[in-house]
Structure 1
Amino acid sequence: MIRVLLADDETLLRRSIAALLDLSDDVEVVAQAVDGAEAVALAAEHEPDVVLLDLEMPGMDGIEAATIILARRPDQAVVLLTRHGRPGVLKRALTAGVRGFLPKSVDPDELERVIVQVHGGRRYIDADISAAAMMDDCPLTDRELDTLRLTVEGLSVREISARLHLASGTVRNYLSSAMQKTGSSSRHGAARVARERSWL
């Protein structure tokens, strides 16, 4: 039996996925988390075989949670579910060590197959998300994307500096470069362009 930790801030969806997975002869949901921070705590407590994370959660998103979980248990199988398969997000997820990346519209039987597959050590990336990533024309560097991502969260330059462990001047340079590349007059405008073009 494959033991699964499921994290999603949408209660109805989380419980529905858990109920569907519990119908399986091969999968058992051993814990449910309402956000990324709780997922990190429950992963340490239960040591599940597979961690299934919603990408977009308040506070700590799925990739941040996955990064912490994988730092503690490098062999942990992690699968991300998302409504928006943005190419930049896929790159971040793979860099973090995530093994599976699926849209939330995935068929329940397919989800179960992917859980079994990643538990066996393999990777699974949804074909449409993978195709979009191959056509990615994002001119922004990873650090520029990081600063814009935190801008979207409403953080100040000082707060971004603290989060990324960078000097404020360095953060301003990244933001300035991102503004120039996106043709924007402000960092918020650059972040908006990046989101509209699915770079974030």
Structure 2
Amino acid sequence: MISIVIAEDQEMLRKAMVQLMELNDELEILGDVPNGEDALQIIKDKQPDVAILDVEMPKMTGLEVLKAVKDLKLNTKVIIVTTFKRPGYFESAVANDVDAYVLKERSVDELVVTIKSVMNGKKEYSESLMTSMFKYKNPLNPKEQLVLKEIGKGLSSKEISKVLFLSDGTIRNYTSTIIDKLEADNRFDAWQIAVEKGWI
């Protein structure tokens, strides 16, 4: 029997997944929750074999829950399901050793195959997600990502320089490099591009 926790903020979809999985004698649903915070709590309390996490949820994202599970060295396998083909999300999931990263549009039967696959120690990634990751690799280094996050808060170069303890000139250099790398019209356009791609 494989024990499972499901975290998905769309209630109808979550309940449908639970009902369909409960028809399978090999699976046992230990709980289903609508947000990442509850997901992490139930994973810590019940230590299921597998956690199925939506990538975008209130309180904590699926990626944040994944990182916490791996940092805590829990034995729970993590499958992230998503409707977003954002290369940055996939990159982050792989960097945090996700067990499977698959598209939400697949059937529950296909998801059960994935569950059994990760229980056998295999990794599984949807092909279209892998293609988008290699096609749109994040061109920003960690410092540039930090600067861009602050730009997204509406801060000026001077204000960002105080937050990041760098000179105003350095921030301006980073900003112009970011705009060039993302082929953006201006700093806010750059921020928007990076958010859409899941790079920050």
Q: TM-score, normalised by structure 1?
A: 0.81
Q: Which residue of 2 aligns with 1:99?
A: 99
What secondary structure is seen at the aligned counterpart in 2 of 1:92?
helix
Say if 1:103 and 1:147 are closer, same or farther in 2 by CA, change over 3 A.
farther
Structure 1 alignment gaps of length 5 or more:
158-165
**In terms of Rg, which structure is larger?**
2
Matches within 5 A, 1:96-135: 96-135=96-135
Say if 1:30 and 1:190 are closer, same or farther in 2 by CA, change over 3 A.
same
Q: List per-residue Cα deviations over 1:82-108 (Å, max 9, x = no partner).
A: 011222211100111111011110111
In the alignment, the residues of structure 1 paired with residue 107 and residue 146 of structure 2 have an alpha-carbon distance, to the nearest angstrom, of 32
In the alignment, the residues of structure 2 paired with residue 174 and residue 125 of structure 1 have an alpha-carbon distance, to the nearest angstrom, of 37
TM superposition shift of 1:109: 0.7
The answer (yes or no) to whether the contact 2:79–2:99 under 8 Å persists in 1 is: yes
What secondary structure is seen at the aligned counterpart in 1 of 2:111?
helix
Q: Which residue of 2 aligns with 1:19?
A: 19
Say if 1:74 and 1:144 are closer, same or farther in 2 by CA, change over 3 A.
farther
C-alpha RMSD of the superposition: 2.8
Please tell me the residue identity of whatever aligns with 2:132. Answer: A
TM superposition shift of 1:151: 6.3
What is the count of residue pairs matched by the alignment?
A: 189
In the alignment, the residues of structure 2 paired with residue 175 and residue 140 of structure 1 have an alpha-carbon distance, to the nearest angstrom, of 10
Please tell me the residue identity of whatever aligns with 2:181. Answer: K
In the alignment, the residues of structure 2 paired with residue 174 and residue 79 of structure 1 have an alpha-carbon distance, to the nearest angstrom, of 40
The answer (yes or no) to whether the contact 2:79–2:100 under 8 Å persists in 1 is: yes
In the alignment, the residues of structure 1 paired with residue 28 and residue 86 of structure 2 have an alpha-carbon distance, to the nearest angstrom, of 30
- Identity among equivalent positions (%) equals 25
Q: Which residue of 1 aligns with 2:64?
A: 64
Q: Which residue of 2 aligns with 1:160?
A: none
Q: List per-residue Cα deviations over 1:6-56 (Å, max 9, x = no partner).
A: 101111111111111111121111111211111111110110000110001
Say if 1:181 and 1:117 are closer, same or farther in 2 by CA, change over 3 A.
same
In the alignment, the residues of structure 2 paired with residue 34 and residue 85 of structure 1 have an alpha-carbon distance, to the nearest angstrom, of 22
